Amino acid sequence: MILLSVSRTRRRRLGVAAAAGGLLAALLTAAPAVAIPDPGDSPTAGKEVSRSDKAEARAAIQSGEIPAQDEIVHSDNIRHVANIPKDALSGTNSDLAFQGRYAFAGNYDGFRIFDISDPKAPKTVAQVLCPGSQNDISVSGDLLFLSTDSSRSDSSCNSTTQPATEKSSWEGMKVFDISDKRNPRYVAAVETACGSHTHTLVPERKNVYVYVSSYSPNAAYPDCQPPHDGISVIKVPRKAPHKAALVGFPVLFPGEGPDGGGNPGGPTNPGVSKTTGCHDITVLPSKDLAAGACMGDGILFSIKDPERPKVIDRVQDNVNFAFWHSATFNQKANKVVFTDELGGGGGATCNAEIGPNRGADGIYDIVGKGDRQKLVFRSYFKIPRHQADTENCVAHNGSLIPVKGKDLMVQAWYQGGVSVWDFTDSSKPKEIAYFERGPLSTDQLVTGGSWSAYYYNGYIYSNDMAKGFDVLKIDDRRTDPARWVQLRELNVQTQPDYFD
């Protein structure tokens, strides 16, 4: 366990102006296969930066404007209580899910299960080798779901990379039985068009519905043909998960032409991603609502019939949003926070040149009732701590911190670290706590940092792409009431009603 270093506060804000079965860890003897990167959330090789950028990064460290390489800094109200480095799975760490005393951590080479009954000393329970970008992960009862969004030779965990132009290639959803946490069993696979970049569970008593988000079709890909203007829906019977099957492909962006009716992107809207599917969806089952972050569009839709979601409203931001990445409802379901993953997670966008409104969160109020509800923009939020141009940094995955009467959120910002912020006033969001490490490099733009940062049963858990699994504790009167909210399960994209 790596303990917390001495806290120090920044002297001032930096103004950088520049551009076929689960295998346990004991069985992992060969190097894991490398997943093929896809647009958005893709790990990238180190990129050389200019001499002036290198010099500015080093000068900022010497002056105390940014932390030293790998140094930990944080606000006074956050403590770093544990870190578990990567082990047998050497790939990029990705998303997190929780159940009881366990945390489930995705990795491009598979997934890892931690026992977090003592958050200050997490223990590895199992590591499962099952390569495939990006291994987005969620759990429900005895089932674990894993997304594969890279073209593979087959659906097994022994697959290798294979061109998407080959008809026999496979991408989609994998299902594991986790009734024995020490020995997960691979029980089902469902191929989906364009793979599964992310997925969202809509759990019911007898079945689990899975909304599969994917994008970027290509006429040369037999299993990923344009137009790709919707999501795949999978139905998984809890008592017979081997019967998991695709039950529909609802179209969310109807329109004429080869690309459907989503945002056309450039050159019509320069710098904006063309909508060819969705990146991520968050559902709020207690309200029969869902919010979709769909590349060039943000949508609000009804899930009263989970097999046939219905779009209620759709918004675009062709000035400041490049790639609609994810969505979070507040507890009252009268706001949605959308994130813009400018640069696909591999760019240095937390600097003065990019500014406060791009690569940020967009806060939208939900006004009206029923099928007449509308998304109304209120403001942007971006971390106020500028990063060096050798640090990838942009808005990424986060969750609510459940406090009645308040809208509080913890969020990952890659090498920008972990931010806790308050958007109770939609027009005046503000950061109230943070944790971050110094740059991985001062010579290259090396991809790393916190992929996901979520609040679960009194602690904040972060999956750092490079540094491993972090546990943080926030002590603040504004967030303290959340300690009394205890969940049995948390998949952040399936938002619970914390106070039901």
pTM of the model: 0.91
Provide the 3-class DSSP secondary structure of residue 383. coil
pLDDT digits (tens, 9 = 90+) for 274-310: 999 999 999 999 999 999 999 999 999 999 999 999 9
Which of the two residues, 74 and 14, has the higher pLDDT score? Answer: 74
Which of the two residues, 288 and 14, has the higher pLDDT score? Answer: 288
Provide the 3-class DSSP secondary structure of residue 232. strand
Q: Which two tokens stand for residue 332?
A: 């009252």
In DSSP notation, 98-121 reads EETTEEEEEETTEEEEEE-SSTTS
**Model pLDDT, residue 45:** 58
pLDDT digits (tens, 9 = 90+) for 396-454: 999 999 999 999 999 999 999 999 999 999 999 999 999 999 999 999 999 999 999 99
Q: Is the pLDDT of residue 53 over 80?
A: no
3-class SS letters over 260-286:
CCCCCCCCCCCCCCCCCCCCEEEEEHH
Q: Is the pLDDT of residue 489 over 60?
A: yes
% of the chain surpassing 90 pLDDT: 84
Give the residue-averaged pLDDT of 461-478.
Answer: 98
pLDDT digits (tens, 9 = 90+) for 329-347: 999 999 999 999 999 999 9
